[in-house]
A and B are shown apart, each in its own frame.
Chain A
Amino acid sequence: MGEVWRIAITGSFNKFLGKVLTFLPNLLAMITILIVGFLVAWIIKMVLLRFLKAIQFDRLSEKWGLTYMFSKGGMSYSPAHLFSGFFYWIIVLITLILGINALELTATQNFIARFFNYLPHLFAALIILVIGYLIAIFLGQAVLIAAVNAQMESARLLSRVIRWFIIILSLTMALSQLGIAQNVIVAAFTILFGGIVLALAVAFGWGGRELARDFLEKLYKRKEKGEGTDHISHI
Chain B
Amino acid sequence: MEKSLQSQLEEIKGADILIGIPSYNNISTIGHVVRAVTAGLAKYFPGAKAVIFNSDGGSTDGTQEEVKRVQIEDFSTILTSYPLHPVHKIVTPYHGVPGKGSAFRAIFEAAGALNVKACAVVDSDLRSITPEWMDLLLTPVIEEGFDYVAPLYARHKFDGTITNSIVYPLTRALYGKRVRQPIGGDFGFSGDLAKFYLTKDVWETDVARFGIDIWMTTLAVAEGYKVCQSYLGAKIHDAKDPGRDLGPMFAQVVSSVFWLMAEYQHLWKVSKESQEVPTLGFRYEVGLEPVSVNTDGMIENFRLGVRDLMEIWRKILLRETVLWLESIGRLSNEAFSFPQDLWVRVVYNFAIAYYKGSVHREHLLKSMIPLYLGRVASFVKENQESSAREVEEKVEDLCEVFEEMKPFLIERWTTG
Contacts and interface: CB of A to CB of B under 8 A. Distances in A.
Chain A: interface secondary structure?
helix
A141 interface: yes
Interface string B139-160: 0000000000000000010111
Contact of B309 (A145, A152, A226): A145
Contacts of A147: 308
Interface residues on A, range: 20 to 34
B297 interface: yes
Contacts of B159: 232-233
A144 B158 CA distance: 29
Nearest to A153: B304
B358 A62 contact: yes
Interface in A46-81: 59-60, 62-63
Interface stretch (B61-69, B225-233, B241-249, B323-331): B241-249
A148 B294 contact: no
A148 B308 contact: yes
A156 interface: yes
B294 A229 contact: yes
B308 A144 contact: yes
Contacts of A59: 356-358
B210 interface: yes
B291 A155 contact: no
B222 interface: no
A3 B356 CA distance: 88
B162 interface: yes
A231 B358 CA distance: 35
Contacts of A227: 294
Contacts of A232: 156, 158-159, 161, 242, 291, 293
Nearest to B370: A148
Given A63-B357, A146-B366, A233-B159, 16 more contacts: A62-B358, A141-B312, A148-B301, A148-B305, A148-B367, A149-B369, A151-B297, A151-B301, A151-B304, A155-B304, A229-B243, A230-B292, A231-B293, A232-B242, A233-B161, A233-B237
Interface of A: 59-60, 62-63, 138, 141-142, 144-149, 151-153, 155-156, 159, 226-235
Interface of B: 156, 158-163, 183, 185, 210, 237, 241-243, 246-247, 249-250, 253, 291-294, 297, 300-301, 304-305, 307-309, 312, 315, 356-360, 362-363, 366-367, 369-370
